[in-house]
Amino acid sequence: MLRRQLGRKLEALRKAAGLTMEKAAEELDRARATLYRIESGAENVRFRAADVKEMLKLYGASDEDTELVLAMAAATRENKNWWHDYVGSGLPRWFQLYIGLEAAASDIRKYQPELIPGLFQTRAYAEQVFNMPGGSIDAQDSDERQRAVQLRIERQGLLTRFAAPQLSVIMNEAVLRRPVGSATLMAEQLHQILKASELPNVTVRVLPFSSGLHAGAMAGAFSIMAFPRDSSGKEMEPPVAYLEAATGAIYLDKPHEIAAYEAIWADMAGRALNESRSKNLIQQVAEEYSRA
């Protein structure tokens, strides 16, 4: 999130100086694509002090803005998040941004039509998921697969950390009914969801088959993340909607895009079982697996 904030600050300074991205790139002797990555806060960009100073000089930044931006740039070079050790093995680069946003979010809403959300998955369930071909992880590479599983388990610490985000999950009933691995595995997995739902910051609701056609049927799995506000109540980071595919992901943050997913969420929330009835259904299905 720090990178994204720094990129937006540099973009604001450029625009305040009356420079287009093309003109600024020309003056800095940089490719437009490079400047775009800088302003997007891309993970592979190094905010070198000399480069940042050159940009600030071109943009006519004040002493106050210069001090702030240089401090932010230095922090990006010094900071190494826990998940960086997984990059290239167990963590696709396109997913790295999501983990950073997830870790910084104050409120996360997830809809999952097919699988147990990763933040709830047991190790055994996650191993079954990563054994499937066609995903971002090579199912034939056991070391890479195990690192991906371990990353998923470590991410779950998010739910019990200090200042944990509020997590609201809506799952299609099919997620509960579709066996992944053995009946024993599924029973343990559903009990894991019930355990997570007892956390004060976690809400789990089920969208039953009886709800009929709903807006999520055409949207697929997605997450909406909101971020903390500063002392004046202003958003530090705009909300982001995240959509994942087998080989990449889409990050949406334009107001009309967020509004569309807010409307989808509202439709499903109006059709889903309440928390109590959702827990009863999860418990019922868990017992069915236990008897199988």
Last residue of a domain, one of 38, 62, 78: 78
Is 125 in the same domain as 190?
A: yes
Alpha carbons 42 and 48: distance in angstroms, whole number: 14
User: What's the pLDDT score for residue 138?
Assistant: 65
User: What's the pLDDT score for residue 249?
Assistant: 85
Is 114 in the same domain as 203?
A: yes
Is 100 in the same domain as 205?
A: yes
Is 112 in the same domain as 245?
A: yes
User: What's the pLDDT score for residue 137?
Assistant: 66
Is 69 in the same domain as 90?
A: no
Alpha carbons 224 and 259: distance in angstroms, whole number: 11
Beta-carbon neighbour count of residue 203 at 10 Å?
Answer: 16
pLDDT per position in the chain (292 positions), as tens? 778 878 888 998 999 999 999 999 999 998 999 899 888 887 778 888 899 999 999 999 988 888 888 888 887 776 656 555 665 555 676 777 788 888 889 999 999 999 999 999 999 999 999 898 766 666 567 888 888 899 899 999 999 998 899 999 999 999 999 999 999 999 999 999 999 999 999 999 999 999 999 999 999 999 999 998 877 787 778 899 999 887 788 889 899 999 999 999 999 999 999 999 999 999 999 999 999 8
Is 201 in the same domain as 269?
A: yes
In the chain, the DSSP E strands lie at 107-112, 166-172, 202-207, 222-226, 240-244, 249-252
Beta bridge pairs of residue 111:
170, 222
Nearest CA-CA partner of 226 in 115, 140, 101? 101
Identify the burial level of 110 via C-beta atoms within 10 angstroms of its C-beta, where 0-12 means exposed, 13-18 middle and 19 or more buried. buried
Is 89 in the same domain as 74?
A: no
Alpha carbons 227 and 107: distance in angstroms, whole number: 7
Is 74 in the same domain as 113?
A: no
Is 134 in the same domain as 29?
A: no
Last residue of a domain, one of 23, 56, 78: 78
Paired tokens of 248: 């990449």
User: What's the pLDDT score for residue 90?
Assistant: 57
Contact residues for 287 (Cβ-Cβ < 8 A; gap 6+):
187
CATH of the domain at 170: 3.30.870
Is 229 in the same domain as 92?
A: yes
Q: Which domain holds residue 181?
A: 84-291
Nearest CA-CA partner of 111 in 284, 266, 258, 285? 266
Q: Could you give the number of structural domains in the chain?
A: 2
Element (H, E) at 257: helix 255-271
Is 204 in the same domain as 286?
A: yes
Last residue of a domain, one of 57, 78, 99: 78
